[in-house]
Structure 1
Amino acid sequence: MKLFLSLITAFIFFFQSDLENLRSSYAKANQSNANTEAFIHLAEKQSGSDAITSGYKAAAKIMEAKVTKNNRKALVKSGATSLESIIKSNPNNIELRLIRLSVQENIPKIVGYRSSMKEDKTFLINNYSKQNATLKSYVKKFAMQSKSFTDTERATIK
């Protein structure tokens, strides 16, 4: 029994480590093309099919349009469709909302993928206090550097 519990614990820590790596890489992805490519590669390597991992994979597909010359429109459309589907299935997941907000905030306006920014920002503010410490820290870091949040809104995220 102890062996079984140890294996489950090890699996959870292994999964958390992958998720933490994805989060860290995603946070740095817009700083340079090299970081974007590193995030895309990391996301593609992930074998998990949970909603959050799938959300990062969809974001990677959208971001791939930034560093490639071919099929940009198809990459954005495919990634956005996938991300919207994942969020529709998991509407109360704060991390998925953060991913979508950050994608929409950083994608060129001409693409037209910006319709959920206000909704997602409001969702993040309203649900911040209900999250665990790790997610609170992640959301706070995002909000502090985000172009979408005002100083007043940032102050509500403590």
Structure 2
Amino acid sequence: MKLLISLFSIVFVFFQSGDLEALRNAYSKANSSNEGAKNFIELADKKNSSDPVISGYKAAAQILEAKITTDKNKRKSFVKTGATSLESLIKNNPNNAELRVIRMSVQENIPKIVGYSKKLQEDKSFIISHYSSQNKALKTYIRQFAMQSKTMTAAEKNSLR
């Protein structure tokens, strides 16, 4: 019985990490074009998980949907729903660096007029101070994000090695 549970756990973790890697890759391309955004949104919509990081990407997809929707009346709703969800996830998981990366990315790329940029410095500080304690895959992802970040200085980017 223990062997069966162990095998199930290993398979679950393997597929979970594959889902996460796919979301990370799609998210990194989402802001470059409407096609990239649509691909990320579709991928995020297909994911059903209680993992807060996957839920964070789903929240980012809701916010990103405001960028590509043709219905101007829905834009505010998409942003509000996604931002509320992302804030709730971070409140419940305050030490999760990847959720902070997601929020920082959203806040860097959302138009300033929306007013969703109050936590940029907090997230930047958190990411930098907790970088060394992350796993290798997340460190690579954080480094890639930092290199294109508008908020991080050159010195801060160089500190993430």
Matched, 1:86 2:81: no
Q: Distance in 2 between matches of 1:4 and 1:85?
A: 32
Q: Over residues 23-79 of structure 1, what are the superposed CA-to-partner deviations in whole Å (9 max), with x where a residue is unaligned?
A: 110011001100100000000000112211111110000000000022001110111
Aligned partner of 2:65 in structure 1 is 64
Q: Which amino acid aligns with 1:32?
A: S
Aligned partner of 1:20 in structure 2 is 21
Q: How many residues align?
A: 158
Aligned partner of 2:42 in structure 1 is 41
Q: Which amino acid aligns with 2:125?
A: T
Q: Which amino acid aligns with 2:68?
A: V
SS of alignment partner, residue 31 of structure 1? coil
Which segment drifts farther, 2-11 or 44-53?
Answer: 2-11
Matched, 1:149 2:152: yes
TM-score (norm 2): 0.95
Matched, 1:103 2:86: no
Q: Which amino acid aligns with 1:54?
A: S
Q: Distance in 1 between matches of 2:9 and 2:95?
A: 26
1:7 deviates by 2.4
Identity %: 56
Structure 1: runs of 5+ lacking an equivalent = none
SS of alignment partner, residue 53 of structure 1? helix
TM-score (norm 1): 0.97
Structure 2: runs of 5+ lacking an equivalent = none
Aligned partner of 1:5 in structure 2 is 6
